[in-house]
Chain A
């Protein structure tokens, strides 16, 4: 499969470039854009960006590997992030995580065989007032209990 930005993404990329005095500074926003466009940052994506931005592919890999939000392997249709920081742990995030591993049959960093769910443990999502918190794709779910979580997962197509 050939990796290439859509016309719309290409336009967004050009807008990003204009904001900075040098190309390298556009790398992070371009990687965010690429992740939105392709779902994850594969070697092919890095190769494409390297040619597009005229930045060596090793430099791109160097940056990608530093930041945890850039996915270097595909995630499930629903990407579940369980906050496992202290403030969530004090309110039961470990039970939430264990419930998910037994329900989905996968561990952190894995994807279900049908590609529907992927699971990761993350650090503070910044919603500690109503812990524990689970983020599914872009949405936060708070005050989680195994029962609430079951209901949410069952409703996801």
Chain B
């Protein structure tokens, strides 16, 4: 879109958590001050996350007569240049453009392969203004539902769309609603599960921060469909900005009559409250979450009865995840057919993923189901950071698993991913390169689950601890030959002996790494060697004399003074003092520091 010349320049600053942490607040304030001080003809607005977190702060500039562009890595200094060159002189600064109409950048694939349903408004609207949401068909879906559809029609529409739970398990949403509708009882509840906690996952935070009203509207529609009068959003207290924006959205909805008594003049009444968690991962499990809303320790209970029959305060309750709810208004407005046209036979629509780890473009993307992992990681994510070699991608957090390179063409759908031993999960994708030790990855997840186990089931409480201890000693080079069998046996027992999903899936990261990377475990145990050269107890750092220029940089950053050498002389790392933190390796500008396996070195010396 090219703006007409009579309009003012509009500048929109991305103010999600990622933008703010990167300094967007400073950019916004500097600009605001400058506009006021110099009385510049510029309209300043803010918006949520467009997903390109790795280029934050992001600033969109719409100058009359010029194509609309989004600039990346905008500092206060860059902003001055943008104002001077772009806004004043009408000159697009192509080198800094992340996205712009008619401008080709290396990031084109990032946007072209995406289909944005859940993120349809994120990065396009000011999440603190209801007017922005209304201008993009906001609250039209609830209007359509209340005025033209019976609750059964709504449930049928969602069933026909093929939407499945985006929290990870993939249960058909329409069916879940039907169960809750069929449950006898006058009082029913809707709960939105915003207790996102999987390591590497931040999709729900982004949706709640960037487009909170699509979640509210989805909950309203669900409330009408099952016959509920009240809804709760259970959100992590670690997400202060999401809490603030949801609160604003709820208050504005009440003012405009989208929440409260007799909505849009109909007999339907519904209200939503926020409930903050307090740092307990297990509360993402639905029965634990209900206990937590009731003010108790967030411990899961046996199912059945399912929450649809006996949920919050014993009443029928329907729980869906943030992303699931955000899909609902779109499906109602665009039709089940259009949604079901996207994706594979059993997995319809899109999925939002958070790209993290050793990937070039960390951030948030939304892709059609059925796309291959390779396309997501290489085409959209730009491949591996520092052009290293891809080793595996971890999907589904602590309940999921690692998918190796030879399975990169696996399509993103629930069944195909399950076959690899991983799961779709909530959408975290943590990418690993050749320097990542897979035993250490498994150790990270077990450390997480044993900390987060609520302690109710013995196998989950103690079994995960024992698994962690074994993994720790393997990474220290003290693994025993029988350890792998022990891990497998413990994994089996924990899966069998745990009540909830946390315990039942906790061994998955170990099982998948054992399945695909058994050789790495064996190298640690039998050869006392870490093939990725990552485990500190099994590696050393040394100077390559031919490359060392004696610049002294490594000696200066070494936190334990293990490096000695005169200026312009080859340096030396004392292995007795070295803690193998890798600081020297990171700072060296001449590739003069290498990581080595002491065992391998000893073997060559013997030869």
Chain A residues near B (Cβ < 8 Å): 19-29, 31-32, 62-63, 66-70, 85-87, 89-92, 94-95, 98-99, 102, 123-131, 133, 138-143, 146
Instruction: For the complex formed, measure the closest distance between the CB of B43 and the CB atoms of chain A, giving whole angstroms.
Output: 28
Q: Is the CB of A124 within 8 A of B199?
A: yes
Pick the residue among A26, A28, A98, A126 that contacts B581 (CB under 8 A). Answer: A98
Pick the residue among A32, A62, A66, A87 that contacts B200 (CB under 8 A). Answer: A87
Q: Mark B7-35, 1 if CB is under 8 A from A, else 0.
A: 00000000001101110000000000000
* A87 and B199 in contact, given A67-B279, A130-B362 (Cβ under 8 angstroms): yes
The residue in A85, A91, A95, A143 that gathers the most chain B C-beta atoms within 10 A of its C-beta is: A85
* A67 and B197 in contact, given A130-B362, A141-B21 (Cβ under 8 angstroms): no
- 29 interchain pairs (CB within 8 A)? A24-B296, A25-B293, A28-B278, A28-B295, A63-B297, A67-B277, A69-B279, A85-B200, A86-B444, A89-B444, A90-B356, A90-B358, A91-B358, A98-B581, A99-B559, A123-B197, A123-B199, A124-B198, A124-B200, A126-B17, A127-B205, A128-B200, A128-B202, A128-B354, A128-B430, A130-B53, A130-B56, A130-B362, A139-B21
Instruction: For the complex formed, measure the closest distance between the CB of A62 and the CB atoms of chain B, giving whole angstroms.
Output: 6
Residues of B within 8 A of A125 (CB): 238
- Bound-complex Cα distance A102 to B481 (A): 37
Q: Mark B337-377, 1 if CB is under 8 A from A, else 0.
A: 00000000000000000111110001110000000000000
7 pairs of A and B residues whose beta carbons are closest in the complex:
A129-B53, A128-B356, A67-B278, A69-B279, A129-B362, A68-B279, A27-B295
Pick the residue among A90, A129, A140 that contacts B354 (CB under 8 A). Answer: A129
- Bound-complex Cα distance A68 to B279 (A): 5
Residues of B169-202 whose CB lies within 8 A of A: 196-202
Q: Is the CB of B452 within 8 A of A123?
A: yes
- Bound-complex Cα distance A126 to B428 (A): 10
- Bound-complex Cα distance A67 to B198 (A): 17
Residues of B within 8 A of A138 (CB): 240
- Bound-complex Cα distance A133 to B227 (A): 42
Residues of A within 8 A of B559 (CB): 98-99, 102
Q: Is the CB of A142 within 8 A of B21?
A: yes
Residues of B within 8 A of A146 (CB): 583
Q: Is the CB of B278 within 8 A of A31?
A: yes
Q: Is the CB of B357 within 8 A of A126?
A: no
Residues of A within 8 A of B583 (CB): 95, 146
- Bound-complex Cα distance A129 to B292 (A): 29
Residues of B448-462 whose CB lies within 8 A of A: 448, 451-452, 454
Residues of B within 8 A of A20 (CB): 295
Residues of A within 8 A of B294 (CB): 22, 24-25
User: Does any Cβ of A come within 8 Å of B46's Cβ?
Assistant: no
Pick the residue among A69, A86, A127 that contacts B18 (CB under 8 A). Answer: A127
Instruction: For the complex formed, measure the closest distance between the CB of B426 and the CB atoms of chain A, giving whole angstroms.
Output: 11
Q: Is the CB of A29 within 8 A of B276?
A: yes
Smallest CB-CB separation from B281: which chain A residue?
A: A123
User: Does any Cβ of A come within 8 Å of B275's Cβ?
Assistant: yes
Q: Is the CB of B296 within 8 A of A90?
A: no
- Bound-complex Cα distance A69 to B278 (A): 5
Q: Is the CB of B21 within 8 A of A140?
A: yes
User: Does any Cβ of A come within 8 Å of B441's Cβ?
Assistant: yes
Residues of B within 8 A of A92 (CB): 586
Pick the residue among A32, A90, A129, A140 that contacts B436 (CB under 8 A). Answer: A90
Residues of B432-475 whose CB lies within 8 A of A: 432, 436, 441, 444-445, 448, 451-452, 454
User: Does any Cβ of A come within 8 Å of B70's Cβ?
Assistant: no
Residues of A within 8 A of B313 (CB): 21-22
Residues of B45-86 whose CB lies within 8 A of A: 53-54, 56
Instruction: For the complex formed, measure the closest distance between the CB of A28 and the CB atoms of chain B, giving whole angstroms.
Output: 6
Residues of B within 8 A of A67 (CB): 277-280, 298
Q: Mark B211-253, 1 if CB is under 8 A from A, else 0.
A: 0000000000000000000000000111110000000000000
Instruction: For the complex formed, measure the closest distance between the CB of A103 and the CB atoms of chain B, giving whole angstroms.
Output: 10
Residues of B within 8 A of A89 (CB): 444
Pick the residue among A27, A102, A124, A127 that contacts B17 (CB under 8 A). Answer: A127
* A86 and B275 in contact, given A24-B296, A25-B294, A127-B17 (Cβ under 8 angstroms): no
* A85 and B205 in contact, given A22-B313, A128-B428 (Cβ under 8 angstroms): no
Given contacts A32-B278, A69-B279, 18 further A-B contacts (CB under 8 A): A19-B273, A25-B295, A28-B292, A32-B276, A66-B454, A85-B444, A90-B357, A91-B357, A94-B581, A95-B582, A124-B198, A124-B201, A126-B239, A128-B199, A129-B363, A130-B54, A131-B362, A142-B18
User: Does any Cβ of A come within 8 Å of B513's Cβ?
Assistant: no
Smallest CB-CB separation from A95: which chain B residue?
A: B581
- Bound-complex Cα distance A22 to B217 (A): 27
Residues of A within 8 A of B508 (CB): none
* A28 and B276 in contact, given A69-B237, A98-B581 (Cβ under 8 angstroms): yes
Q: Is the CB of A86 within 8 A of B278?
A: no
User: Does any Cβ of A come within 8 Å of B317's Cβ?
Assistant: no
* A143 and B22 in contact, given A24-B295, A98-B581 (Cβ under 8 angstroms): yes
User: Does any Cβ of A come within 8 Å of B505's Cβ?
Assistant: no
Instruction: For the complex formed, measure the closest distance between the CB of A39 and the CB atoms of chain B, giving whole angstroms.
Output: 16
Instruction: For the complex formed, measure the closest distance between the CB of A125 and the CB atoms of chain B, giving whole angstroms.
Output: 6
Q: Is the CB of A29 within 8 A of B275?
A: yes
Q: Is the CB of A86 within 8 A of B394?
A: yes
Q: Is the CB of A126 within 8 A of B236?
A: yes
Q: Is the CB of B199 within 8 A of A130?
A: no
Instruction: For the complex formed, measure the closest distance between the CB of A152 and the CB atoms of chain B, giving whole angstroms.
Output: 11
Q: Mark B114-135, 1 if CB is under 8 A from A, else 0.
A: 0000000000000000000000
Residues of A within 8 A of B364 (CB): 129
The residue in A22, A62, A125 that gathers the most chain B C-beta atoms within 10 A of its C-beta is: A125
Instruction: For the complex formed, measure the closest distance between the CB of B295 and the CB atoms of chain A, giving whole angstroms.
Output: 4
Instruction: For the complex formed, measure the closest distance between the CB of A56 and the CB atoms of chain B, giving whole angstroms.
Output: 13
Q: Is the CB of A128 within 8 A of B238?
A: no
Residues of A within 8 A of B432 (CB): 90
Q: Is the CB of A26 within 8 A of B295?
A: yes
Q: Is the CB of A129 within 8 A of B355?
A: yes
- Bound-complex Cα distance A61 to B430 (A): 37
Smallest CB-CB separation from B236: which chain A residue?
A: A126
Q: Is the CB of A129 within 8 A of B18?
A: yes
- Bound-complex Cα distance A133 to B293 (A): 29
